[in-house]
Amino acid sequence: MSRAPAPFVRRATASDAPAVATLGAATFVETFGHLYPAEDLAAFLAASKTPDAYAKMLADPDVFVLLAEDRSGEPLGYVLAGGCKLPMPDLDPRSGEVRELYLLSGQQGRGLGTRLLEAALEWLESTGRTPVYVGVWSENHGAQRLYARYGFEKVGEYDFPVGATLDREFILEQKSRRKPD
């Protein structure tokens, strides 16, 4: 049996904004869409998962977006990192954040998320962004386990708005630079 070729991973460019926005919306809906009333989900997507929103991020040299594609160029997932925007008291202005890490559901469990996370962490370290944080939904235990393998520990909580719905999010800080074996 032949294996599918490994996904191609590359730094996203300004011309990728529509593809990243489509992927961002699709993966958010796949992962979390069932949690929200339709009007809340639509409001969130219209405010944050648009080509214009991603174009602004892609134009910012202090933001890192890595895009994973199959060999035909179809987007499979992405990671977005930059300065920390989480509501932490006394936040060091040099702190970094893995802001988004999303894969299409059919790509999960194949090591692609780990590959994207490691690239984001390497970029944050290379740019002096420390400490590093990530916000994760309180019920997303799989993501919490992934981040724990990279030395992240819970240091706070906050309410993340999706339309009028408020999700309980955990703020995790990377306390050690360990990598899984």
Check which CATH number belongs to the domain holding 38 and give it.
Answer: 3.40.630.30
Closest CA to 34 of 165, 125, 158: 165
Whether the link from the prior residue into 61 is cis, omega within 30° of 0, is no
Asked whether residue 180 is domain-assigned, the answer is no
Q: Distance (Å, rounded) from C-alpha 113 to C-alpha 110?
A: 8
- What residues make up the domain containing 148? 8-174
Amino acid at 84: C
| pTM confidence score | 0.89
Asked whether residue 1 is domain-assigned, the answer is no
Asked whether residue 181 is domain-assigned, the answer is no
pLDDT at 109: 61
Asked whether residue 2 is domain-assigned, the answer is no
| Count of domains for the chain | 1
Give residues with Cβ within 8 angstroms of 71, minimum separation 6: 5, 8
pLDDT tens, N- to C-terminus, the chain (181 residues):
445 567 778 999 999 999 999 999 999 998 899 999 999 999 999 999 999 999 999 999 999 999 988 888 888 899 999 999 999 999 999 999 999 999 877 666 676 788 999 999 999 999 999 999 999 999 999 899 999 999 999 999 999 999 999 999 999 999 877 665 5
pLDDT at 110: 73
Asked whether residue 159 is domain-assigned, the answer is yes
Asked whether residue 75 is domain-assigned, the answer is yes
Asked whether residue 77 is domain-assigned, the answer is yes
Asked whether residue 3 is domain-assigned, the answer is no
